[in-house]
Amino acid sequence: MNWPVSLYGFRPFIYQLTVKHNLSGRVSNISEDVRIEIEGDPGSIETFLADIPILTPPRSVIEKISFSNHSTEGYKNFVIHKSITEEGKYQLISPDIAT
């Protein structure tokens, strides 16, 4: 599958993937992980989840993907939401990657 992925981070990658699958919602960095909230056609959501580990940007490492169903929020589009810091938790960022 030839599809351009973002070289600029995981949240922009997720944004591009949701646009590809016509999903709405938001993505946020949380201190220890990335939280993605998506709404849309169940088949599109399933394909989106399958594409994440296949199309992940080269420097991204996915340790696990977990999901749960919640009531819908009625998102109109998909947005990259600001990062949320949780005390005592952190995301590992490789020191050899320029920020």
Strands 78-80 and 33-39: unpaired
Dist CA 57 CA 66 (whole Å)? 19
Which residues on neighbouring strands pair with residue 29, listed in sequence order? Answer: 34
Contacting residues for 99 by C-beta, under 8 A, at least 6 apart: 93
Report whether pLDDT(89) > 80.
no
pLDDT in tens, 17-42: 999 999 999 998 887 788 899 999 99
CATH hierarchy code of domain 10-80? 3.30.70.100
Report whether pLDDT(48) > 60.
yes
The pTM of this model reads: 0.75
